[in-house]
Structure 1
Amino acid sequence: MESVRKTFGGSVVLRDVDPEVAPHTVTALIGASGSGRSTLLRCAGLLEDIDDGAIWLDGEEITDPRADQDAVRRRIGVVFQSYNLFPHMTVLDNITLAPRRVHGVSRAEAEEGAGELLERLGLGGWAAGRQGGEYPDRLSGGRQQRVAIVRALAVRPRPLLPDEVTAALDRELVGEVLNVVRDLKGDGTTMVLATHGMGFAREVADQVCFLDGGVVLERGTAEQVFGDPRQERTRRFLRRIVEAGRP
């Protein structure tokens, strides 16, 4: 990102933000609610238009008006905190829809790939059955979130953008989703994720960006940001997290 600016109704939500993400690394976006983390992810995924600046992917300025943004979106995977699974489709159909309709993959190939991903994430049994698998409302929140991650991975995205993927989950379901993200990091998946989990961010992130008021106020390695933050505002934020007993 290069000097990205975004406003909503006259309010500036992102102010000249410029994080850079290297391939096969994980960048965690932390900060209080309303700091701009989710908006940054939505802009990176071309779900929101930016008002100024530029976003680059693989050497291409994807926010250039001349860029084929639909083609760019095919290379990006977004995981929403509210799952956004289609309730009238089975698990298998949710996962294979984009590969078949957008990428032109045959149903057989798409279903084979979906089955492999589901097995890998411990959900193999949910792709089977008389109707081609269960429907999302038959799954727990943790399983639905894992299906949402599989759906994003099915298009083989260049970056994966998970947005607060544990926010809608009960505490006992959080661990299984975080384990999936750890595995993806081990596989070298490039990720930019927004999270409230400071312990999780410290464990998986190669780079941490602390956003405050739409500005990337501090950026560095997880060890530096959590262990020796340079900005007083970052120190206050982390201190409040510890005092509130939030991991």
Structure 2
Amino acid sequence: MTTVLSVDGVHKVFGARHVLRGVSLDVAEHEVVALIGASGSGKSTLLRCINLLEPVDDGTIGLDGEDITDPRVDPDRVRQRIGMVFQAFNLFPHMSVLANVTLAPRRVHGVPAAEARDKAMALLARIGLAELAPAYPDRLSGGQQQRVAIVRALMNTPRLLLLDEVTSALDPELVGEVLALIRELRGDGMTMLLATHEMGFARQVADRVCFLDGGTLVEQGPPEQVLGEPREARTRQFLRRIIEAGRLPISGTG
């Protein structure tokens, strides 16, 4: 099995806060790995380190066997192979959907405008938003904006897709359409690492669930094991709070 991502002993410190404490994690080709844990556990910071938005203080991160944390590595070149979708949609309000989606391929990666447009329209059509290509973000619902943000991340056909709490800014009734798109990407074999508070979704879509607590990877395994029969006391305590809050349906259908 080909390893796409290899995180080895990564530490990240912000002032007095030790946010990541020796995290090690591999993601295989076509695998979907869900990161769960309370706010502040290090999930988002780990994703930002992988996308080279934050430098690591110790440890290494490898992408297809290349140490991308080597200071000689060009971050822009690495980001051509990694797509990232954030909690906030980060769409430019003064640009149309089509312009938002094609901006980076045209300006950063030198893709001809016609080629970028054709690919963008094909992706937008696939998610049922082709007719909104000329619209501006303020005309779209939150769910539509987040799906556009995912399309933007797919424009370079990334080797790895990082998803950081992509449903957290959405109204509950809009969450489903974004999760459906992620499910579809999984069916296509996209390699994904996603941080999520949607426990029922993690149970359904992930091949593996990793529980982070205090910057440490406490437990990982198949969803049915980690979410159903956790071995570690800290995992059980976290899931107990989630269940009490009604965010982990016992059936896993939420």
Q: Quickly name the TM-score band, shorter chain normalised.
A: over 0.9
- Segment drifting more, 218-227 vs 76-85: 218-227
Map 1:107-118 → 2, pairs under 5 A: 107-118=113-124
Distance 1:104 1:5 in 2: 35
Please name the residue that 1:137 is paired with.
Answer: 138
Residues 37-62 of structure 1, C-alpha deviation per residue, up to 9 Å, x if partnerless? 00011011111111000000011000
User: Does structure 2 retain, via aligned residues, the 8 Å contact 1:98–1:155?
Assistant: no
Please name the residue that 1:19 is paired with.
Answer: 25
Please name the residue that 2:84 is paired with.
Answer: 78
Distance 1:62 1:243 in 2: 41
Distance 2:28 2:44 in 1: 20
Please name the residue that 2:160 is paired with.
Answer: 159
Map 1:33-182 → 2, pairs under 5 A: 33-127=39-133, 133-182=134-183
Distance 1:51 1:176 in 2: 38
> Which one-letter code corresponds to 1:224 in the other structure?
Q
1:68, CA displacement in angstroms?
2.0
User: Does structure 2 retain, via aligned residues, the 8 Å contact 1:118–1:147?
Assistant: yes
Distance 2:36 2:118 in 1: 36
Distance 1:101 1:24 in 2: 29
CA RMSD, 1 decimal: 0.8
Please name the residue that 1:4 is paired with.
Answer: 10
Residues 150-188 of structure 1, C-alpha deviation per residue, up to 9 Å, x if partnerless? 000011111110100000000100000000000000000
Please name the residue that 1:190 is paired with.
Answer: 191
> Which one-letter code corresponds to 1:145 in the other structure?
Q
> Which one-letter code corresponds to 2:131 in the other structure?
G
Distance 2:71 2:88 in 1: 30
> Which one-letter code corresponds to 1:121 in the other structure?
I
Residues 65-88 of structure 1, C-alpha deviation per residue, up to 9 Å, x if partnerless? 122222111111110111011111
Please name the residue that 2:4 is paired with.
Answer: none
Distance 1:245 1:225 in 2: 18
Q: Percent identity?
A: 68
Distance 2:128 2:237 in 1: 39
Please name the residue that 1:221 is paired with.
Answer: 222
> Which one-letter code corresponds to 1:119 in the other structure?
A
Q: TM-score, normalised by structure 2?
A: 0.94
Structure 2: runs of 5 or more not aligned = 1-6, 249-254
Distance 2:190 2:96 in 1: 26
Structure 1: runs of 5 or more not aligned = 128-132
